[in-house]
Amino acid sequence: MNFVYGAYSVIWLIIFGYMVILGRRQNKLKKEIEFLKQLDR
Amino acid sequence: MIRSALLIAKKDLYSELKTKQVLATMIIFAGLVILVFSFAFDPANNTTKAVIPGVIWVIIVFSGILGLNRSFISEQRNDTMQGLMIAPLDASSIFLGKFLANFSMILVVELVSLPFLFLLFDFKMYGGFGYLILVLVIGSFGFISIGTFLAALAANSKSSEMLLPLLLFPVTSPILIGAVQATKIILTNIEKLSSAMAWIQLISAYDVIFFVLCFILIDYVLEV
Amino acid sequence: MSANLEREKAALLAGQSAAEKASLVPKILFGTTVVSILASIYFIFIFSSIEKTMGVVQKIFYYHVASAWCAFLAFFVTFIFSILFLAKRKRIFDTYAYVSAEIGVVFTTIVLTTGPIWAKSSWNTWWAWEPRLTTTLILWFIYMAYIMIRQMDGVWDKKARLASVFGIIGFIDVPIVFFAIRWWQSKFHPIVFGNGPSQKGGGIEPNMLVALLVSITALTLLYSYLLQKGVTLENMRIKVTQYKEKLREDLEN
């Protein structure tokens, strides 16, 4: 039974890990866009 | 097209014969791999004989990578790559020519290093010599054809020596599996020849599929 | 500022607001993904019966197989878009191919981690050289190589072209790898464990089949959501890079 918990936690860890990576990329992009907007002013 | 391919093959082989640098490096490297294996596995032990088929193909793979790297890196000096692409040649002739040159080189390496391997490991061949040659030729054919193709691809990167093994090993794993199995059967129990032939058929199918594929796709790789 | 730059900036800002406004599709995808995942958990743990021989551990199989299916789908999509890119040379095709390959690697990692966990629990061995698992391992390496090509130095169209070629070769290689390994295994290591972890066992009960289908649907929806999100992100990144290039050019003049 422990194995089942282990397996599913690994699965969700990987999926959420990937979404965190995506989120970080998105934040970095947002910061760059803000910076470029600032440059404009 | 065949003629221009032969021309390119001749050019590569002649420039190689002048310095014999790459060929010598490949052969010495093969010798060193054999040496390392004799440290890793005890040559006196009888069970080591089981490892010999694998060792043969590891030698071919690693020496092959050396040669393949060179075949396109040398074109980057003086930008001869551009010259080749602009010349009124098909990209496929370039591929064929380079393939023929690389193939002949790996055959020479095999010719020299395999007897050395058998010598060092005191391996007695129980007949089936012709079949061994067959497996070596067909396996090397597939490996070098996809190798030449991926070397052309990887040459576009600055870290091409690192990229080529990364690309080559996963894609050629069927060849390696089939070749090692077939070599094992031929070298140790030759009665199971039918299964060895089946493996050889697998490798041949792979060779045909990928040779045609590389032929078609090389245009996209060697685009200006 | 030059007129060119003005246009680029307008395009950038328009793209950003479009990405924020036209968020109906991502919202739908996200919603259905969450719903189906919750449904799949219900089906797996409550609805489907416990398998006779392996016990509760067999439940891992649902997400393991569903992930494998999704990984394969992702790589098939990469294959199709690679061909499309080589034919039409539109950047969006390459973007879809790349994002799909990345998601494919994520799903393949899931398969490669749940596989050994299942193997350990069922046969007390971390790895089994059985066809599906080994092919998945080689698949992982092939698509890591694809991503490495994409991260090469150089202009985007060269990278995209080379990666597309490799995407085609990699995908065609996979069935051959599978058959080679299956043969390798059957000849010398007959599957002593009855049916290997990938095969569904003698007969799959209908409620298990339903759970499996629900899991596959859930993960496929997750894949679509991640694909859409990834492509939007990549498009924005491309626009930002182009804008910065134009800005640099402008500053130099």
What ipTM describes this predicted complex? 0.86
Residue C234 covered by a domain: yes
Q: What pLDDT does residue B126 have?
A: 67
Looking at the domain assignment, is residue C150 inside a domain?
Answer: yes
- For residue C49, is pLDDT > 70? no
Output the pLDDT for position C181: 80
Give residue C50's pLDDT. Answer: 67
Q: Is residue C17 part of a domain?
A: no
Closest of C165, C136, C162 to residue C151, by C-alpha: C162
- Residues of the domain holding C125: 28-252
The verdict on a CB contact (< 8 Å) between A26 and C233 is yes
pTM of the model: 0.85
Across chain C, what does the average pLDDT equal? Answer: 80
Q: What is the pLDDT along chain B (224 residues), one digit of tens a residue?
A: 677 777 777 777 777 777 777 888 888 888 898 888 888 887 777 777 778 888 899 999 999 998 888 888 777 777 777 777 777 777 788 888 888 888 988 998 998 888 888 888 777 776 667 888 888 999 999 999 999 999 988 888 888 888 899 999 999 988 888 898 888 888 777 777 777 888 888 889 899 999 999 988 988 888 76
Quick: pLDDT tens for B186-198. 877 777 777 788 8
B123: number of Cβ within 10 Å = 16
Q: Residue C16: inside a domain, yes or no?
A: no
For residue C189, pLDDT over 70 is answered with: no
pLDDT of C17 reads: 60
Q: What is the pLDDT of residue C61?
A: 80
Task: Spell out which residues of chain B touch residue C162, defining contact as CB-CB under 8 Å.
Answer: 153, 156, 221
| Tally of structural domains, chain B | 1
* DSSP line for B53-118: HHHHHHHHHHHHHHHHHHHHHTTTGGGHHHHHHHSS--HHHHHHHHHHHHHHHHHHHHHHHHHHHH
Tell me if C169 is assigned to some domain: yes
**Confidence at residue C186, expressed as pLDDT on a 0 to 100 scale:** 65
Q: What is the pLDDT of residue C73?
A: 92
In a domain, C200, yes or no: yes
Residue C196 has pLDDT above 70, yes or no: no
Q: Pick the residue from chain B with its C-alpha nearest to C178.
A: B174
Tell me if chain C has a CB within 8 Å of the CB of B181: yes
Q: Are C242 and C250 in contact (CB under 8 A)?
A: no
The pLDDT-based confidence of C7 (bands split at 50, 70, 90) is low
Answer whether residue C83 shows pLDDT above 90: yes
Q: Give how many domains chain C has, as a whole number.
A: 1
**Res. C4 pLDDT band, cuts 50 70 90:** low
Q: Which range is most confident: B133-147, C6-20, C38-52?
A: B133-147
Q: C44 or B32, which is more confident? A: B32
CA-CA distances (angstroms) from residue C80 to C83, C164, C222?
5, 9, 20
Distance between CA atoms of residues C52 and B96, nearest Å: 58
Mean pLDDT, rounded, for C212-222:
86
Residue C11 lies in a domain: no
Predicted local distance difference test score (pLDDT) of residue B223: 78
For C185, nearest residue in chain B (alpha carbons): B177
Neighbours of C228 (CB within 10 A): 17
Domain that holds residue B167: 2-222
Report CB contact under 8 Å: C176, B170. no
Q: Nearest residue of B to residue C83 by CA position?
A: B217
Residue C87 in any domain: the answer is: yes
Mutate to test the interface with B, among C139, C166, C181 (most CBs of B within 10 A): C166
Contacts of C230 in chain A (CB under 8 A): 22
